[in-house]
Structure 1
């Protein structure tokens, strides 16, 4: 059995793309900024388990179309081919017949909004990523801290006045 393809949907710079693999060793090589890390992170979503938790994505990882808004689920779909009878038994729930008439296993991992980290505070742009510390996100976080600080200060003043302090 081998991983024949990985389809990445709504993830970083990918609206939807499929990466094909061959049996044996596959190497991903290329210059910077061609989305190699996005492919590796998609593979990591498949390989995660009890000892290695699933990757956590932020709103920055949701695909942002030109002039649009980052919304929707991130999905990774994995297709395995050349299954032997033991593999077929292990992946019985994921089996389907390919267009070529071969048995393959198809599995997917979906990250919906509850799985994606979002930071929302009054006075901040909605959807600022919690894990991002780029300049604009840091500005939003500092603005949120000021709003929270003012709110807490006013609430503390009310409480202290109720106790005569």
Structure 2
């Protein structure tokens, strides 16, 4: 009986000690994924992963350094707005040689319809040159955030989530 009790204590002790180790492993994996995304220039993905690392370990210097660089390069992202927009699924997009301005106007109506009038995206195009760029896009069942990202890629614009709006701006000027 004494042996069984000792064995039980040993097993429970080992199991309890491995919980922090697993959490540390998960944090390390998140950090490595964030670092890889950072080095590949995928700053949005890097920010998402590294913010999770910073929540778990706020004093991790490499994480804080990369987050500071990301903030300097692409600014502060409004994750609340991004999250709200990511829940809106656009059923069908079929743009053929329309200006970004026209695409954004159509997207507002599609998002409003897809969200039952709950979400009408506030989208600002900061440059007349970008507004007139031509867009062709054919997508089905895609989150609003992805449509916005595609529009940014196709037009060469930088897409930023501000406090109350999504901004399309020149990549050079920010």
Q: Which has the higher strand share?
A: 1
Q: Is the TM-score greater than 0.5?
A: no
Q: TM-score range with shorter-chain normalisation?
A: under 0.3
Q: TM-score, normalised by structure 2?
A: 0.22
Q: Normalising to structure 1: TM-score of the pair?
A: 0.23
Higher helix share: 2
